[in-house]
Structure 1
Amino acid sequence: MAMKEARVDPVKVPGSFVRLQGAYPGLRAAEQRVADFILAHPDELIYLTVTELAERTNTSESTVVRLCQKIGYKGYQEFKIVLARDLVEPATEIYAAIEPGDDLATVKSKVFQANAQALRDTIEVLEDEQLQRAVNALASANRIEIYGVGGSGPLALDAYHKFLKVGLQAIALSDGDLMAMSSSLLSPGDVALGISHTGASRDVTDALGRAKANGATTIGITHRHTSPITKVSEIQLFTAAKQTAFRSDASSSRIAQLTIIDTLYVGVAHAHHDRALAMIERTREATASKRY
């Protein structure tokens, strides 16, 4: 069943809605009916009790409460409080489609707004527990392999560059055959990190699957909760960028993915503060002669 469009100001994407939309594909049918009502009638919802909402959606009170808990709230009352706050906050303009007549100043504004919105949205759906698991796994890994093809290839290299600076034994791969061979050699204690906006890259998904089968810990960074990569990722890190212009480029999602990589890097460095500082200084000194 397709998710219904929310009847809210289209230039406003508050945190509670981002969480609800991000969790939607994984909800049960009854929970989706509640979500559909919330997205379509947010102004009306804040005046409804949990019993009234259950009656309006032909569900139960427990279904309503379970939905609120799934998207990160203690219960229905806390969700209503956050929703009310989101509805009265000043609208945040998001990136509309770039039109043929737009001048460069308008294009600049739309692109910057889209990237900023992608970060605001992603921080709402990026689960702290999953992020902590990823940091722990990376910090203690014997070996780290990072997979990304196409537009995700440079992101894999960025992760490799950052992890290298803090002394992690990492490698970035973007060739399908090399990913297949290398992932087949991983073992318990190793980590495989796959990056794919769509989550449907066969090379990346197959490599993660092979790494998981060999006992390595697998981490996936993706946009889609129901994509193939999630089936082979023990740890799942999601972005929430909204594409409205050049959709196939997933440009805003790339900014969110880079920021997740930055967070992993800083998280690992923070976990081993003194050692990380020493490694960073050593790598900086190693390249000092290459700068003017």
Structure 2
Amino acid sequence: MTRKTNPPPPSKNALDTGTHTALEKAVRAQYASLPVSERRIADFILEFPGEVAAYTATELAEMSNGSNAAVTRLIKRLGFTNYDEARRAARDAQTWGSPLYLMQQAHQPKDFAGRVQFHIDQDAQNITTTLHSLSPDSFRSIVDAICTAKRVVCIGWRNSYFLAAYLHWQIVQVRKHVSLLPNAGMTLAEDISMLGEDDLLICVGMRRRVPQVEKVIEAADKQQAKILYITDRTAGGLSAATWTIPCSVRGAEPFDRYSAALSLLHFISVAVVEKMGEPGRKHLQSIEQLHDTIDEME
């Protein structure tokens, strides 16, 4: 039995509204009634709410051309006990992956060459961190499971869907019985109910995750299927997953970066092709012959 390992869950803010934007919502709700001294600070928070997570009350006052007293009054007016509580709300929104809270005032070099190198460096760091964190034994077990499972089901939502689709597209070229979910206009219960102990579910669940991620993984576990969960480093632990691989997705910009996730999936796919050997090559050859037969490609 493969030992299930998962990253620790992120902290949860008591003031979280359920949409992970408690700070911004509180500012918008009070904005019309704010005095001028507090409105300057509110304007800054609304433009760059994530900065609250990084700076002290004094630094926020200086950056917004306000005062410490105005910051204190505003924070209490918004419903927070103190500034640290507001910082935790902003930090939780960053952890969840809200692009608004990941925006920074300045983060890139101004010249084009510098911006290009900055972009490359961030992707390179994420790829390095992700791949170096892989356990060789777990990786070999995952590749073996992909090659030997009776059925492989890849699943993802939102941005995670195209990552799941990429992995599906690679695996399906060297083995049969590989499917991608969810299908447009279709429900999931029918497909998940068919999973069994000889099957493998590969779930890609990058932030911002939909509730179905955890529910589908738990359902597949009850069906006794093996489960590979590919996620980001902010994910809470899912004990139902057989293997969990966290990917580095953060950078300085408001949008997460998926270069490391794609590199990981490519790394897995190449190992699967090698493991499948001659049967995999024959399967790929039959696909290429069909491309010619039905005139799909030039």
Interval containing the TM-score (normalised by the shorter chain): 0.5 to 0.7
Instruction: Report the RMSD for the aligned CA atoms in angstroms.
Output: 2.8
Tell me the CA shift for residue 186 of structure 1.
1.0
Q: Which residue of 2 aligns with 1:59?
A: none
Give the aligned residue type for 1:108.
V
SS of the residue aligned with 2:269? helix
- Is it true that 1:290 corresponds to 2:296 in the alignment? yes
Tell me the CA shift for residue 103 of structure 1.
4.5
- Cα deviation digits, residues 173-225 of structure 1 (max 9, x gap): 13696334321221110111110123843212211110110111111001236
Q: Which residue of 2 aligns with 1:144?
A: 152
- Is it true that 1:215 corresponds to 2:219 in the alignment? no
CA distance in 2: counterparts of 1:291 and 1:239, whole angstroms: 34
Deviates more, 1:168-177 or 1:188-197: 168-177
CA distance in 1: counterparts of 2:208 and 2:240, whole angstroms: 11
2:207 to 198, 201, 216: 198
What are the within-5 Å matches in structure 2 for residues 168-247 of structure 1? Answer: 168-174=176-182, 178-198=187-207, 200-224=209-233, 227-228=236-237, 230-246=238-254
Tell me the CA shift for residue 259 of structure 1.
1.8
Q: Which residue of 1 aligns with 2:264?
A: 260
What are the within-5 Å matches in structure 2 for residues 156-175 of structure 1? Answer: 156-174=164-182
Higher Rg: 2
Counting matched residue pairs gives 196
Give the aligned residue type for 1:223.
D
Q: Which residue of 2 aligns with 1:274?
A: 278
Q: Which residue of 1 aligns with 2:114?
A: 106
SS of the residue aligned with 2:203? strand
Q: Which residue of 1 aligns with 2:135?
A: 127
Whether the 8 Å CA contact 1:145–1:192 is kept in 2: the answer is yes
CA distance in 2: counterparts of 1:240 and 1:234, whole angstroms: 20
Tell me the CA shift for residue 226 of structure 1.
5.1
User: For the structure 1 residues 174 and 108, does the alpha-carbon distance in structure 2 shift closer, same or farther, using more than 3 Å as the test?
Assistant: farther
Whether the 8 Å CA contact 1:122–1:241 is kept in 2: the answer is no
Sequence identity (%): 16
CA distance in 2: counterparts of 1:132 and 1:243, whole angstroms: 29
CA distance in 1: counterparts of 2:224 and 2:208, whole angstroms: 21
Q: Which residue of 2 aligns with 1:35?
A: none
User: For the structure 1 residues 108 and 151, does the alpha-carbon distance in structure 2 shift closer, same or farther, using more than 3 Å as the test?
Assistant: same
Whether the 8 Å CA contact 2:107–2:252 is kept in 1: the answer is no
Q: Kindly report structure 1 stretches of 4+ aligned residues shifted beyond 4 Å.
A: 23-26, 96-101
Tell me the CA shift for residue 161 of structure 1.
0.7
Q: Which residue of 1 aligns with 2:126?
A: 118
CA distance in 2: counterparts of 1:143 and 1:270, whole angstroms: 19
